[in-house]
């Protein structure tokens, strides 16, 4: 006898993750990223408790715009 999956499938799938990454790479807030990805704020944080590695990666994505801005400022300062 095989075990069947019970319950609804997760709304956080590879396509959703890609959208979250895109949004965070553009410095969106968590709520904006959820809106773009088509999930609720609560869905994201419910999943966060289950998949720490995924959300550590997304947290790093949130910091990418700040890093890129700093890099650009430093690079432009060095030109002068």
- The average confidence (pLDDT) of the chain is 87
**Residue 71 sits in which domain range?**
14-79
Task: Give domain status of residue 71, yes or no.
Answer: yes
Secondary structure element (H or E) that encloses residue 38, with its range: none
CA gap 54, 37 in Å, rounded? 15
Does a structural domain hold residue 3? Answer: no
- 24 occurs within a structural domain: yes
The pLDDT, as a whole number, for residue 4 is 64
**Spatial distance between the Cα atoms of 66 and 25, rounded to a whole number of angstroms:** 9
Domain-located, residue 5: no
Indicate whether 1 belongs to any domain: no
Q: Express each pLDDT in 20-38 by its tens digit.
A: 999 998 989 999 999 999 9
What's the pLDDT band for 78 if we cut at 50, 70, 90? Answer: confident
The answer to whether 37 and 54 have CB atoms below 8 angstroms apart is: no
Q: Do residues 43 and 11 make contact, with C-beta atoms less than 8 angstroms apart?
A: yes
Decide if 2 is inside a domain: no
- Tally of domains within the chain: 1
């Amino acid at each position: 006898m095989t075990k069947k999956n019970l319950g609804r499938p997760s709304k956080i799938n590879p396509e959703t993750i890609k959208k979250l990454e895109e949004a965070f790479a553009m410095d969106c807030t968590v709520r904006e990223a959820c809106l773009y990805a088509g999930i609720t704020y609560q869905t994201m944080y419910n999943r966060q408790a289950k998949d720490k590695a995924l959300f550590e990666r997304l947290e790093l994505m949130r910091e990418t715009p700040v890093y890129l801005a700093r890099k650009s400022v430093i690079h432009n300062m060095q030109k002068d």
